Structure 1
Amino acid sequence: MQILSVSADHYASNRNYLEQMHRLRAAVFGGRLEWDITVTEQVERDQYDDLRPTYILAISADQKVVACARLLPASGPTMLERTFPQLLERGSLDAHAAVVESSRFCVDTSQAAGRGGSIHQATLAMFAGIIEWSMTNGYAEIVTATDLRFERILKRAGWPLRRLGDPLAIGNTVAVAGSLPADRASFEQVCPQGYRSTIERNGAGPLRSAA
């Protein structure tokens, strides 16, 4: 498994991976979790995909997208402020330039590879990839809207969420907004054995790469 970051400049050359990502999001959010989202022809996308985000993808050995997340600067339009402001204590983020928003995080947990521990290896690799990309691009903090189940997963991984408001029932889940640090200590805490990424650090290569 390898972590890949896809910025807007590289959408065209990664079209196959992005199509797989949108299908995975439809299967997880629309199918397994039954969220109130729009799925068209087995693909899920929303208005935030039109803002040229960077996508973090976990790619399996057979070139399948097994996990994904979407990253947007929190200084611009964000899902938290525009779609879920009720999750924020003050209704806004008051974000600074070093904050990035993560959304649409999902993992294909049906994949046999990576099972065995209390947290799927693809989930941990994605945590590490999001932190690595954030650090590489000058972000020190990650904000997100998630649910209580995923908040518990973050805590088990040793990367606990700092809540930005009280949990609230939205649709068929109880959601919560929170902040996560993007630093070397957090990366080392969540990084699974054998982590590999193609995220470059000012030409110096990834934070950690192992076969």
Structure 2
Amino acid sequence: MFQLFSVSYKQLITGRSEELFMLRKKTFSDRLNWDVKCLNNMEIDEFDGDDTQYILGVYRQQIICSTRLIPLDKPNMITHTFSAQFGDVPLPGNLIESSRFFVDKSLCKQLLGDAYPVSYCLYLALINYGIANHLDSLYTIVSKSMLAILRRTGWRIRIVKEAYLTPKEPIYLLHVPTDKASQAIMAPKAGRTLEIEPQALLKWPLTLPVSHKI
């Protein structure tokens, strides 16, 4: 089974932190060439701490996708790393920021095949997490390419502000709903190739079947 669940930073560092931070280095430094802090083949920064939650997607005991969740009233990338771009945007402290969102494509292909809808499952996990924790939305910063990907999902995201890191490199602060309407959009997409009862897609944590034919 493919499982998506949340853990705190304290839970992470007692078990899977090295695995997660190595995958983040592989994704954000090696593949995307982002300017991120890396040490001992791991990517970790000042926002990985006691106030942080992580959604992990795990199959056969391996992490294949994840995102990081930080309350907006705590230090986060919107108000700190990108304060020059978005520091003037008023943000509600009772919501969260999602950052370090990734799907390890090579691991997914190796373990699940090309057809498994891992990205949609991770989007749905964010929505289900929000509903379970009484959060009707979240905020995140994305690149132009990621904005296009999210728009294609049908998710009713809203651009709060566009900014530029360089004259040719726009980034976007997004308001992302995590409500029942979003769940109704994303659940059928996440479950479209899976043999699963529709109601099971609405739960948190998520446990999803994997066909041996994939």
Spell out the pairing of 1:30-45 with structure 2 (5 A cutoff): 30-45=29-44
**Partners of 2:4 and 2:205 within 8 A in 1:** no
TM-score, normalising length: structure 1: 0.82
Percentage identity across paired residues of the two chains:
25
Amino acid across the alignment from 2:164: L
Q: What code does the residue aligned with 1:104 have?
A: R
State the partner residue of 1:92. Answer: 89
Report the Cα offset of residue 37 of structure 1. 0.7
1:162 and 2:163 equivalent? no
Residue of structure 2 in register with 1:108 after alignment: 104
- Tell me the equivalent position of 1:81: 79
Provide the secondary structure at the position in 1 that maps to 2:182. Answer: helix
Amino acid at match of 2:63: V
SS of residue paired to 1:49? coil
Distance 1:48 1:34 in 2: 20
So what's the TM-score if we normalise by structure 2?
Answer: 0.81
Segments ≥4 residues shifted beyond 6 Å = none
Find the counterpart in structure 2 of residue 46 from structure 1.
Answer: 45
Given residue 73 of structure 1, which amino acid in structure 2 is its aligned partner?
A: P
Does the 8 Å CA contact 1:57/1:65 hold for their aligned counterparts? yes
Provide the rounded CA distance (Å) in 1 between the counterparts of 2:85 and 2:204. 34
- Alpha-carbon distance between aligned partners in 2 of 1:195 and 1:141, rounded to the nearest angstrom: 29
Aligned length: 196
SS of 1:29 mapped into structure 2:
helix
Q: Secondary structure at the match of 1:169?
A: strand
- Mapped contact 2:157–2:176 kept (Cα < 8 A): yes
Report what 1:126 is aligned to: 122
> Aligned partners of 2:7, 2:195: CA distance in 1, in Å?
18
Provide closer, same or farther for how the CA distance between residues 70 and 176 of structure 1 changes in structure 2, counting only shifts above 3 A.
Answer: same
* Superposition RMSD in Å: 2.6
Which structure carries more strand by proportion? 2
1:83 & 1:166 partners in 2: Cα distance? 16
Q: Secondary structure at the match of 1:87?
A: helix
Partner of 2:175: 179
How far apart, in 2, do the equivalents of 1:8 and 1:27 lie?
20
Unaligned ranges ≥5, structure 1 = 197-204
SS in 2 for 1:130: helix
